[in-house]
Amino acid sequence: MTDAADGLAPAGPFPPADRAAVYRAIRERRDVRGQFRPDPIDPATLRRLLQAAHDAPSVGLSQPWNFILLRDPALRARLHAAFQTANAEAAARFPDRAALYSALKLEGILQAPLNLCITCDRSRGGDHVLGRTHDPATDLYSTACAAQNLALAARAEGIGVGWVSIFRQDDLRRILRLPDHVVPVAYLCLGHVTELYRQPELQARGWAKRLPLEDLILEDGWKTPPPA
């Protein structure tokens, strides 16, 4: 028998309905850009989403994240302008797909009722963090896990989440007044949605398609196919 004092609890699969709900949230999660409704997110719901993010695994239990809630219209206007500058630079890198790129809506900074920046404090835990001694980037991976937790919880709550990645890091740092040891990892737009794409939007719009899982599974190391 397990001693309750050691903090362990019985393990085992979830009931079928609970298990199905987890997989459904993963399968139906979508990156949202243009389907946001203007009504605000209930504070209790927002708290649950932030708690889900905070419950993410982190290297050495360092919990390097902070959650910057962005509601001020003037501040978000500056962030939107920074996105537009970066997006113009990004568009120039796809000259053969310029028309399709320009037709894609890649952010909801002004439309979503709430923006959120999840940051990584690279000094948290001190100079030596358990598990980070040989891969210093694991704190960044941990913060990405927090963002994914939030996105899955949001899907279960009927809240859309869109990750905006087209920013110059220096612009985000300047506008959000981040100290040198804090890195912006996930800039998210959040809000209620009525409809979602049945498949990833970039697939529905013809930009890319999901790869078959079978083509991505390897056994016992990386094996290159023999030359034809």
Q: Is residue 109 assigned to a domain?
A: yes
**172 found inside a domain:** yes
Residue 136 lies in a domain: yes
Please check whether residue 23 lies inside any domain of the structure: no
CB distance 113 to 40 below 8 Å: yes
DSSP class of residue 225 equals P
What confidence score (pLDDT) does residue 173 get?
97
> pTM for the complete prediction?
0.94
Q: Is residue 222 part of a domain?
A: no
Question: What count of other Cβ atoms lies within 10 Å of the Cβ of residue 25?
Answer: 16
Please report which residue ranges of 63-198 form alpha helices under DSSP H: 73-91, 98-103, 138-157, 169-176
C-beta of residue 192 within 8 angstroms of C-beta of residue 158 = yes
User: Is 178 within a domain?
Assistant: yes
Whole domain around residue 128: which residue ranges? 29-196
pLDDT of residue 34: 87
Instruction: Dump pLDDT digits (tens) for 123-140.
Output: 999 999 999 999 999 999
User: Residue 58: what pLDDT?
Assistant: 98
**Residues facing 228 on adjacent strands:** none
Tens digits of pLDDT across the chain (228 residues): 445 567 899 999 999 999 999 999 999 999 999 899 999 999 999 999 999 999 999 999 999 999 999 999 999 999 999 999 999 999 999 999 999 999 999 999 999 999 999 999 999 999 999 999 999 999 999 999 999 999 999 999 999 999 999 999 999 999 999 999 999 999 999 999 999 999 999 999 999 999 999 999 999 999 876 666
Q: How many CB atoms lie within 10 A of CB 204?
A: 12
Inside any domain, residue 146: yes
**174 contact partners, CB below 8 Å, separation of at least 6:** none
Q: Looking at residue 1, what is its pLDDT? A: 46
Longest Cα–Cα distance of the chain, Å, equals 65
Whether 62 maps to a domain, the answer reads yes
In the sheet with 159-164, reading across from the earlier edge strand, the strands are: 65-70, 114-121, 182-192, 159-164
Per the structure, the count of domains in the chain is: 1
How many whole angstroms separate alpha carbon 101 and alpha carbon 107? 13
Task: In whole angstroms, give the CA distance from residue 168 to residue 73.
Answer: 20
Report the CATH number that the domain containing residue 103 is assigned in CATH: 3.40.109.10
